């Protein structure tokens, strides 16, 4: 099997955004995954990139899945902060598709900058053009990336790419890389309008 085929086989089943996130984490480094779900990313990083990782997750079933994968996981609500972790305990901290559901957005980003030199954040892009069209028609948007009705959505802080970039600047986070996706495909042309998911890597200077 050639290296390209082998690499594709190892990432089969992982979301494209998680594959990109994994590629941004240095082999042999230390990583913290906030809202780590079933631990798939951490298990991949451990097995394929020799990353020493830990996760934070609140859902019981996800915690059990992490344990089944042999992933180190702490059951805790992220709203309580990251006081369990020391300054710069990790090289990279990941917050994947969770930022928009946090009540204290600035606080979690500051805590991420405290515990790791690098951060990776992904979130739904509210600037996706059909969202604006839906609002013009008098309805809140419902899409594959945001499949909830206005009254039952966990997404309380929606933003566009420019919104996040401005917040990062205000918090002293230096953006290093950005990737945007729509239905699993990477979007490079007019990403602010055409993507439904944004992924950023930044340095906490």
Indicate the angle between helix axes 161-170 and 105-115, nearest 10 degrees.
Answer: 60
- The answer to whether residue 136 is domain-embedded is no
Tell me the two tokens of residue 112: 């991420």
Q: How does residue 6 score in pLDDT terms, banded at 50, 70 and 90?
A: very low
Per the structure, the count of domains in the chain is: 1
Is there a domain that residue 162 lies in? yes
pLDDT in tens, 21-41: 999 999 999 999 999 999 999
Domain assignment present for residue 8? The answer is: no
Any domain includes 180: yes
More confident residue, 27 or 11: 27
pLDDT for the residue numbered 4: 35
Q: Which of 12-16, 49-53, 131-135 has the highest mean pLDDT?
A: 49-53
Instruction: Identify whether the C-beta of residue 128 lies closer than 8 Å to the C-beta of residue 146.
Output: no
Selected residue with higher pLDDT from 143 and 63: 63
Is residue 62, in this structure, part of any structural domain at all?
yes
By percentage, how much of the chain surpasses pLDDT 70? 81
User: Which has more pLDDT, 128 or 66?
Assistant: 66
User: How far apart (Å, rounded) are the C-alpha atoms in residues 27 and 155?
Assistant: 33
Judge whether 190 and 108 are in contact, CB under 8 Å.
no
pTM above 0.85, yes or no: yes
pLDDT above 60 (res 167): yes
pLDDT of residue 100: 85
The verdict on residue 141 lying in a domain is: no
Q: Is residue 145 included in any domain, yes or no?
A: no
CATH number for the domain that contains residue 174: 3.40.50.150
Mean pLDDT of the chain: 87
Residue 62, pLDDT > 90, answer: yes
Is 76 a domain residue?
yes
pLDDT band of residue 14 (cuts 50, 70, 90) is confident
What is the rounded average pLDDT of the residues 171-179? 97
- How far CA 176 is from CA of 34, 86, 119, 168, in Å, comes to 20, 24, 10, 11
Question: What is the pairing mode between strands 197-204 and 116-124?
Answer: antiparallel
Q: Which domain, by its residues, includes 162?
A: 16-126+158-204
């Amino acid at each position: 099997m050639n290296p390209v085929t082998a690499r594709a086989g190892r990432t089969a089943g992982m979301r494209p955004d998680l594959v990109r996130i994994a590629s941004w984490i240095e082999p042999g480094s230390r990583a913290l995954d906030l809202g780590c779900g079933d631990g798939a990313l951490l298990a991949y990083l451990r097995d394929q990139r020799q990353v020493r990782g830990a996760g934070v997750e609140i859902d019981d079933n996800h915690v059990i899945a992490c344990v089944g994968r042999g992933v180190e996981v702490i059951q805790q609500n992220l709203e309580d902060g990251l006081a369990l972790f020391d300054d710069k305990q990790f090289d990279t901290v990941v917050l994947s598709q969770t930022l928009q559901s946090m009540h204290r957005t600035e606080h979690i980003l500051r805590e991420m900058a405290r515990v790791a030199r690098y951060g990776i954040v992904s979130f739904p892009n509210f600037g996706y053009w059909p969202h604006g069209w839906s609002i013009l028609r008098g309805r809140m948007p419902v899409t594959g990336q945001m499949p909830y009705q206005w009254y039952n959505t966990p997404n309380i802080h929606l933003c566009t790419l420019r919104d996040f970039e401005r917040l990062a600047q205000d918090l002293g986070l230096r953006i290093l890389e950005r990737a945007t996706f729509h239905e699993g495909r990477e979007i490079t042309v007019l990403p602010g309008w055409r993507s439904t998911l944004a992924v950023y890597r930044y340095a906490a200077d």
